[in-house]
Amino acid sequence: MFIEPRVGTGPGVARRGWIEVVCGSMFSGKTEELIRRLNRAKIARQRVEIFKPALDTRYHAEDVVSHNSNSIRSTPVPVAQEMLLLAGGCDVVGVDEAQFFDESLVDVCVQLANGGTRVIVAGLDMDFLGKPFGPMPALMAVAEFVTKVHAICVCCGEIASYSFRMAASEDKILLGETDVYEARCRHCFQEGMKEKSSEPVSKSASAS
């Protein structure tokens, strides 16, 4: 479990920022871990603000909601730069679903951290093809702390780090839940991708 080097700021100690990344596949508990850290900061009387990309409106527009419904109020922002305006006076800034922001998120996080803010970023490290997702690899490079959390492979029960998409869509952003994605280990992810590539392009076409 990740233990912060500091949570609050003692009297007479200047505020210092840093960047934490929590990454992993779908169903790995990234958002739960983000919420856990933010709740600890709140207990330490830190001023906390949470942002997420405006496109992720699966459950509720203003909540960071994890799959177990343990939620924290959050602010959807259309672009990462908006966080610089809205995060004034915050001790801790949380960012959820960070993979959906563009590369400018990296600069924004660095600016916030340089200015004394603790930044905690949660996001998918890989897309449904197993490729690094959006700004996540660069964020992992500039972060002081990187935590990779894992799900359990639904096929074999091993540790899973891949998000396997069961639907045929090639759209990089396909929001969804258990009916669209499943967590898989490296082996079962590869097996699934092989199966997919050998499938006929359209099932209805092959049936006719």
Q: What is the 3-state secondary structure (H, E, C) of the chain?
A: CCCCCCCCCCCCCCCCCEEEEEEECCCCCHHHHHHHHHHHHHHCCCCEEEEEECCCCCCCCCEEECCCCCEEECEEECCCCHHHHHCCCCCEEEECCHHHCCCHHHHHHHHHHHCCCEEEEEEECECCCCCECCCHHHHHHHCCEEEEECEECCCCCCEECEEEECCCCCCCCCCCCCCCEEEECHHHHHHHHHHHHHCCCCHHHHHC
Among 54, 84, 155, 193, binds Zn ion (CB under 5 A): 155
Q: Are strands 145-149 and 151-152 parallel, antiparallel or unpaired?
A: unpaired
Candidates 26-34, 105-113, 182-190, 191-199 — which segment interacts with Zn ion by CB under 5 A?
182-190
Annotated ligand binding at 107? The verdict is no
90 known ligand binder: no
With CB under 5 A as the rule, give the number of residues binding Zn ion: 6
Name the one residue in this structure whose structure tokens are 């964020």: 139
Tell whether residue 158 is a contact of Zn ion (CB under 5 A): yes
Residue 134 marked in a binding site:
no
User: Is 23 one of the annotated binding-site residues?
Assistant: no
Among 34, 41, 140, 153, binds Zn ion (CB under 5 A): 153
Does 191 interact with Zn ion (rule: CB under 5 A)? no
46 is in an annotated binding site: no
Interaction of residue 80 with Zn ion, rule CB under 5 A: no
- Determine, following the binding rule CB under 5 A, whether residue 151 of this chain makes contact with Zn ion: no
Is 185 an interacting residue with respect to Zn ion (CB under 5 A)?
yes
The catalytic residue among 33, 49, 97, 182 is 97
Q: Is 97 a catalytic residue?
A: yes
Give me the active site residues, please: 97
* Chain residues that interact with Zn ion, rule: CB under 5 A: 153, 155-156, 158, 185, 188
Residue ranges for the known binding site are 24-31, 96-99, 153, 156, 173-176, 181, 185, 188
Residue ranges for the known binding site for substrate are 173-176, 181
Residue ranges for the known binding site for ATP are 24-31, 96-99
